[in-house]
Structure 1
Amino acid sequence: MKKYLPLILKLIAAIIMLQTLFFKFTGAQESIDLFTKVAGENEHLMRIGTGVLELIASILLFVPKKVWLGAGLTLGLMGGAIFSHLTKIGIEHNNDGGTLFIMAVITLLAGGILLFQNRKDIPFLKL
């Protein structure tokens, strides 16, 4: 199991991030509502920008020697999502029972573990 843990964590993080892209990129109303709470009239910039960054992070998680970069980007994105939930959106959005918040926490944890596991590949750290 220990040898499969990194793959499982990558899949969890990537699947969670990738499943939301359809809603972000197609302008689904629930996505517009959520990003309007955070960014106001600039919701489209934040919604699309976040989607692009989540796509990049998901790809990098599967690129050898760049897993650390994908994991770091995942941490930043999910940290921002969790912060937004705690300050502007609320734990529960659109009667989802906190599902989006919980998925962000799970993705943050997966990214954190992956970053720790791949810390030796971070070029500017002398480990």
Structure 2
Amino acid sequence: MSWLKKHGHWLLTLYVAFVFIQSLFFKFTGSPETVYIFQVKLDPWAASLGFPGLFAPGGIFSAKVVGSVELIASVLLLAGAAISTQRAVQVLGAALGLGVISGAIFFHLFTPLGVAVVNADGSSDGGELFMLACGVWLSCALLLWLRRALWLGWLARLRGR
């Protein structure tokens, strides 16, 4: 149990970094899956709400922007886990990861994207992307809980205590 308490953050960090980093190829190369998710499913939905181009290439939530945030979160998480004196960096990575993956979960649940993504060819991922996102959300939340003394101290200083 003491090993898990001392090194468990590595398991959480490696899971988040693995999920984020393995998806970068898709987001940065304009793969058909990514184009389908961002440009075929999400951008028309955003346009119907009055926000055309939000998910299109060059949009504020384009695949490359989301991928860049995931890459930054991964680097911060890994650096903070590797250097014990840099736990604050891990907190920032976990917070950034939690934010970006909360957006992903929102879009799976409340847009035409759906929990089980149906691709352009009619195949379904069976909910795999959604389940990975939930695992990342839980891992980031647990990392923030493990490092709560650090960020709660920041909040206390911000409030002038």
- In the superposition, the TM-score normalised over structure 2's length comes to 0.74
Alignment RMSD (CA, Å) = 1.6
Q: What letter is aligned with 1:39?
A: D
1:118, CA displacement in angstroms?
A: 1.4
Q: Which residue of 1 aligns with 2:34?
A: 31
Alignment of 1:50 onto 2:73 = no
CA offset digits 1:57-78 (Å, max 9, x no partner): 0011122221111001111111
| SS of equivalent residue, structure 1 residue 2 | helix
- In the superposition, the TM-score normalised over structure 1's length comes to 0.92
1:113, CA displacement in angstroms?
A: 0.5
Q: Which residue of 1 aligns with 2:131?
A: 102
Q: What is the rounded CA distance, in whole Å, between the counterparts of 2:142 and 2:11 in structure 1?
A: 11
Q: Which runs of 5+ in 2 are unaligned?
A: 45-52, 81-85
Q: Which residue of 2 aligns with 1:6?
A: 9
| SS of equivalent residue, structure 1 residue 81 | helix
**Count of residues in correspondence between the two structures:** 127
- Among residues 76, 87, 99, which one is paired with 1:60 in the alignment? 76
**Within-5 A mapping of 1:108-127:** 108-122=137-151, 124-126=154-156
1:23, CA displacement in angstroms?
A: 0.3
Higher-Rg member (1/2): 2
Q: Identity rate of aligned residues, in percent?
A: 39
Q: What letter is aligned with 1:116?
A: W
Q: What is the rounded CA distance, in whole Å, between the counterparts of 1:15 and 1:106 in structure 2?
A: 11
Q: Which runs of 5+ in 1 are unaligned?
A: none
- Among residues 115, 126, 144, which one is paired with 1:91 in the alignment? 115
**Within-5 A mapping of 1:77-88:** 77-88=100-111
| SS of equivalent residue, structure 2 residue 95 | helix
Q: Relative contact order, CA 8 A, sep 6+: which one is greater? A: 1
- Among residues 4, 20, 23, which one is paired with 1:20 in the alignment? 23
